[in-house]
Amino acid sequence: MQNIKLLLAVLLMVLSCAPVFVAQQNKQTQSMSGQYALEVSYARGAPFVYQLIGTSTWYAGFQTISGLKYPAGVRPVEAIKLYTREEGGTLKVKVTILRGQNLEFEETVSEYTVGSEKVVVDDLSRFGVVPFELSLARAPSTVAYLPRINNSTKSLIVSVEPVVSSLPSYRIRVLSSSAKPVAGFAYNTWLEGRRRFSGMPQQFDGTPLIAVGGSYEKVFPYALKTTTQSTGEVPPPIDGLQLNVTAVIFADGTYEGDRTDAVRFRAYKLGEKIQLSRILELFRSKSASSWDTLAPKVDELNYKITATDMASLITEFPGLNDGEVELLRGGAEVSASRIQKDLVGTFGTRKRMDSAVFAAAVSGAIAKCQKWLDSLP
């Protein structure tokens, strides 16, 4: 399970991203998102995590109740996801659990209102998880330090600029000088001798992340001082963060920079390629003649990736050991399961589709999937 959690952390861009709230909740009129953040205690002894209001974040480092044994046939909880929103001057937090090797099964736990007092998410104990504790932390707008940049690519021009935000952040701007579209790039940040964040920005529809002559911009979180004692305020940022841009991968599959990150990125895209091929085969079969015959097939469509499926990538990148191949296989399966989850949400049995729009929906899905598939190396 630890390898899976590490793998998912790489796939996703950012995982985490006393008198805390002195006004009464029903009298709070100003926007909370510019004044407060959600303070999350997800494991005893672990540093607090701070989440922007209006965002969702999943947590994999939680603790389970001692002696927990899942009944036969019940998938273990792999992550907890918190969705935050402001409603009527109060903070609402919807809590869900994620199951499955690739977090493909999501189930709502409950919703909580978080105000001046600490809230214990007791409902998590029904799923064998030690309850999280949630609070509001004052988060006045601030400007973070700027990270030092270490760019291992030739075709990307990387710059950063300060951002005024309730959680310390900075904006990264990536310009491409290449004559080829950029499918994605890999980055990580380091501070005080350890990795803080990592990610691989990319599109999930077959379009390039950066067109020829184009650019990419996004606000990234800046690392905070770690603390296990709440002060009612978001802790300050720590100077000295280093931003490493380790690889760029082009739309044709070529790359510059770190080979390991490039092959990992290509594995994600291989997973997309395999699953899109499966979906197109299903949509072009007799089962796609009606929703009633297609929906059950959609629910049971295979999204698993085998070692045999990885053969083309192993040939292209020789010298990979068994452990590396297994991590790459898992990454490909993450991509395949994500596409499958979206497919089930649109065409599966839980959401009946009107016959009047079914044919057009299938035709549109075929066109989209084929265009996406054709864009992959």
What 3 state SS string does the chain have?
A: CHHHHHHHHHHCCCCCCCCCCCCCHHHCCCCCCCCEEEEEECCCCCCCEEEECCCEEEECCCCECCCCCCCCCCCCEEEEEEEEEEECCEEEEEEEEEECCCCCEEEEEEEEEECCCCEECHHHHHHCECCCEEEEEECCCEECCCCEEEECCCCEEEEEEEEEECCCEEEEEEEECCCCCEEEEEEEEEECCEEEEEECCECCCCCCCECCCCEEEEEEECCECCCCCCCCECCCECCCCEEEEEEEEECCCCEEECHHHHHHHHHHHHHHHHHHHHHHHHHCCHHHHCHHHHHHHHHCCCCCCCCHHHHHHHHHCCCCCHHHHHHHHHHHHHHHHHHHHHHHHHHCCCCCCCHHHHHHHHHHHHHHHHHHHHHCC
* pLDDT at residue 20 in the model: 23
pLDDT tier for residue 96 given thresholds of 50, 70 and 90: very high
Average pLDDT of the segment spanning 224-242:
92
pTM of the model: 0.83
User: In angstroms, rounded to a whole number, what is the distance separating the alpha carbons of residues 188 and 205?
Assistant: 24
Condensed to tens digits (0 to 9), the pLDDT of residues 247-261 reads 999 999 999 999 999
Other CB atoms closer than 10 Å to residue 226's CB: what's the count? 12
* pLDDT at residue 144 in the model: 83
**pLDDT at residue 33 is higher than 80:** no
Condensed to tens digits (0 to 9), the pLDDT of residues 7-24 reads 444 443 332 322 222 222
Q: Which residues contact 59 (CB under 8 A, 6 or more apart)?
A: 15, 40, 42, 49, 79, 80, 81, 82, 132
* pLDDT at residue 27 in the model: 34
Mean pLDDT of the chain: 89
pLDDT cut 70: percent of the chain above it: 92
* pLDDT at residue 165 in the model: 87
Pairing of strands 148-151, 242-250: parallel
pLDDT tier for residue 3 given thresholds of 50, 70 and 90: very low
Condensed to tens digits (0 to 9), the pLDDT of residues 251-293 reads 999 999 999 999 999 999 999 999 999 999 999 999 999 999 9
Count, residues in the chain: 377
**pLDDT at residue 69 is higher than 90:** no
**pLDDT at residue 29 is higher than 50:** no
Q: Higher confidence at residue 66 or residue 1?
A: 66
CB 285 within 8 A of CB 298: no
User: In angstroms, rounded to a whole number, what is the distance separating the alpha carbons of residues 356 and 290?
Assistant: 10
Q: Domains in the chain, ordered, with CATH?
A: 2-138 (no CATH), 142-257 (2.60.40), 259-375 (no CATH)
